[in-house]
Amino acid sequence: MNEIQLKNWSIALDLAQTKTFYRKQTHWCSCLDCENYREATKYIDSSIAKIFTALGIDLSKPSHLSEFGEMEDGTHLYMGCYHLTGQLTAGPHCSDEDWHDGNTVKVQNFTFGFSTEVTFAHEDLSEPVLQLNFEAQVPWVLEEKPEE
Ligand SMILES: [Zn+2]
């Protein structure tokens, strides 16, 4: 485990385990909403990409993803989570019910925090498992449009 500093948090992270886990993930949901999210992560702002690279997470492979429709500005609201091998050693946790500016960080169109709960984690990921919850406003980048 290596200790890394990320925004308001210190994380004891097993970068090698986390990277290996994401490299092995080859099954994902192929619905249009998920396809769009995965495609959009290719064009995501480098300030966000950098954070996920530091954590060893492949942005295109969330553990769980839900789409909540089109926003006024034309982007689509997504919520989901990723998992990594590690634990918080300093800084606040969040949860679905306890989600605010004090325990999450907003970078561009991405807001994320580290959850007290672990859900949807893949059994292949080594313990201890830390869950990153996020919400993101993502543009629709696929040519095929979502059904209304
Ligand atoms: Zn899907």
User: According to the model, what pLDDT value does residue 148 have?
Assistant: 64
Return the percentage of the chain with pLDDT > 70, whole number: 99
| Beta-bridge partners for 78 | 67, 136
pLDDT in tens, 32-72: 999 999 999 999 999 999 999 999 999 999 999 999 999 99
Q: How far is the CA of 98 from the centre of ligand 1 (A)?
A: 26
Span 87-98, average pLDDT = 96
Give, as residue ranges, everything with CB less than 5 Å from ion ligand 1. Answer: 29, 31, 34
Listed by start position, the domains of the chain span 2-138
Provide the whole-model pTM: 0.95
Residue 28 has pLDDT above 90, yes or no: no
Average pLDDT, the chain: 95
Q: How far is the CA of 128 from the centre of ligand 1 (A)?
A: 27
User: According to the model, what pLDDT value does residue 27 have?
Assistant: 83
Q: How far is the CA of 87 from the centre of ligand 1 (A)?
A: 28
**Comparing 30 with 147, which gets the higher pLDDT?**
30
Span 20-30, average pLDDT = 92
